[in-house]
């Protein structure tokens, strides 16, 4: 074992890891290697994700993607807000209590927020226009919810042919 040493300086090993990691290692195609080495941001920078999730599994998934640089847009409804707003123990007598949940704040770090009325034609139209700009759609509502508003995979793919759609259970 080596003797303890001071912690490395920020960025001290960056070039070494970029050369030796996959993708972007020395054995990779030069065009790919140059594109990756030119990137100075986080791994998912430039990826746009529509986050229609609530409670735990979905928000945790998209939180990790947001922390790794993806632009994550979390959609809620005033009729059915993200459940983590409601389980924090903040009394309803507190001003703006729905904005003070530490659980909600922790799971939505680095995300943008949008409130839509998905029961209205205008809300669904705006959601469809937003879907056309997203690379990934993540939802974890009960199956009937997304189907009732006409957002099965075929409908989403009609808006964005190369979309990745992740449907997962709530927990």
Q: Map out the domains of the chain with their CATH numbers.
A: 1-40 (no CATH), 48-167 (3.40.50.10540)
**Using 50, 70 and 90 to split pLDDT, how confident is the model at 29?**
very low
**What does the pLDDT read at residue 27?**
46
Q: What is the mean pLDDT of residues 144-167?
A: 89
Q: What is the pTM of this model?
A: 0.74
Residue 18 has pLDDT above 80, yes or no: no
129: number of CA atoms within 13 Å, CB side? 7
Residue 159 has pLDDT above 70, yes or no: yes
What is the sign, positive or negative, of the torsion defined by CA atoms of 143, 155, 124, 58? positive
Place of tokens 């992740």: 166
**Using 50, 70 and 90 to split pLDDT, how confident is the model at 146?**
confident
What residues have CB less than 8 Å from 98, skipping those under 6 apart?
Answer: 81, 85, 86, 90
**What's the pLDDT tens digit per position in 85-144?**
888 888 889 999 989 999 999 999 999 999 999 889 999 899 999 999 999 999 998 878
């Amino acid at each position: 074992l080596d003797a303890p040493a001071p912690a490395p300086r920020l960025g001290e090993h960056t070039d070494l890891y970029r050369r030796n990691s996959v993708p972007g290692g020395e054995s990779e195609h030069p065009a790919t290697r140059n594109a990756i080495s030119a990137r100075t941001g986080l791994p998912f920078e430039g990826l746009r994700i529509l986050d229609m999730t609530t409670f735990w599994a979905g928000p945790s998934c998209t939180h990790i993607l947001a922390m790794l640089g993806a632009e994550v847009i979390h959609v809620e409804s005033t009729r059915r807000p993200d459940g983590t707003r409601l389980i924090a123990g903040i009394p309803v007598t507190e001003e703006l209590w729905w904005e003070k949940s530490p659980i909600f704040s922790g799971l939505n770090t680095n995300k943008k927020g949008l409130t839509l009325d998905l029961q209205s034609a205008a809300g669904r139209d705006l959601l469809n226009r937003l879907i056309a700009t997203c690379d990934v759609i993540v939802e974890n509502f009960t199956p009937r919810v997304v189907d009732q508003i006409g957002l099965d995979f075929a409908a989403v793919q009609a808006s964005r042919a190369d979309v990745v759609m992740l449907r997962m259970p709530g927990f």
